[in-house]
Amino acid sequence: MKLKIQSRGLRSELSPRALKKWNPAIQAAVESTSDTITIYGVIGEDWYGEGVTLKRIDAALRAIGERDVTVYINSPGGDMFEGIAIYNRLREHSHKVSTKVLGMAASAASVIYLAGVERQVASSAFLMIHNCWTVAGGNRHYFRDIADDMEEFDAAMGDLYAETSGQTVESMAEMMDDETFIRGKRAVELGLATGLLAADEVTERTTTETQQNNALKAMDIALAKAGVPRSERRELFANFKSGTPRAAGGDTPRAVPTDKRSAVAPDLSASLSEASAILNSLKGESR
């Protein structure tokens, strides 16, 4: 099944519940093979605009070439349209694709997971399926059109889950309406997974990157709850990465600039302080 979705320029959003439950430290115990792809993080644009994209997956598949491929997944989801594009690309691969959920495959990541001919999930891991989330702005006519588009989009997702699992479209749609977390054994029972992943294939690996991902997701959740729009949050995180102060906010306290500009492991100590100052400022303005 090749999914075709017209997005009208929409961007889907992460589920706050999935983001909060996601543990980025859960990874494959062994993954240093030449026929493995890892999907650890946000699908599409993450906090820095550098998440898991079709471009990255396509490059990995071209490097693997005419061989079977294993895709390890631990992701809170993200851009559903990017997820669909990755799903289609994996389905087009000329050799066998196996997908394995280590910790979580939520939303867009659950779509990618379904691309596997063999689909395994750890007994302690979860799939999460739900209706598409988006943030949009416009008049009432635009919103009516958006709602119609999203209804078609959700129907396409329901069809995919049903076709893969053998369950009815109605039962899958109901689970999507409820934003359902499905544990490993239940995923096998439903037919979404073809088997359970061996426990020794999963590990919890704490690294600088996973610690920073935990800090970033906590900051993103807190800022979103405080009412900071997504565009401003992304700008703030971009400034954190470059080591520059926030470019907006009037008298909001700012972190001291640094010379660190690492694309992999920026120092978040000043970032956390600045985020706290911004949140305190927002709380003061709301009184």
Check which CATH number belongs to the domain holding 65 and give it. Answer: 3.90.226.10
* Residues assigned a catalytic role: 107
The residue among 204, 231, 248 that closes a domain is: 204
| 92 lies in the same domain as 72 | yes
User: 110 and 71 share a domain?
Assistant: yes
Mean pLDDT of 180-188: 98
Residue 25 lies in a domain: yes
User: What pLDDT score does 248 carry?
Assistant: 37
Residue that finishes a domain, picked among 170, 204, 238: 204
Q: How many domains does the chain have?
A: 2
pLDDT digits (tens, 9 = 90+) for 110-153: 999 999 999 999 999 999 999 987 766 788 888 888 888 888 88
**Residue 246 above 70 pLDDT?**
no
Contact 191, 167 (CB under 8 A): yes
Give tens-digit pLDDT for 51-105.
899 999 999 999 999 999 999 999 999 988 899 999 999 999 999 999 999 999 9
Query: Is there a domain that residue 37 lies in?
Result: yes
| 26, containing H or E segment | strand 26-28
Domain membership flag for residue 8:
no
> Both 108 and 221 in a single domain?
no
Over the stretch 212-244, which tens digit does the pLDDT of each residue have? 888 888 888 888 777 777 777 777 777 766 665
- Burial annotation 228-238 (CB, 10 A radius, 16+ → b, else e): beeeebbebbe
Kind plus residue range of the DSSP H or E element containing 29: none
Domain coverage including residue 250: 208-286
Q: What is the value of pTM for the model shown?
A: 0.79
Helix axis angle for 54-64 and 80-92, nearest 10°, is 20
Tell me: do 122 and 239 sit in the same domain: no
pLDDT over 50 (residue 278): yes
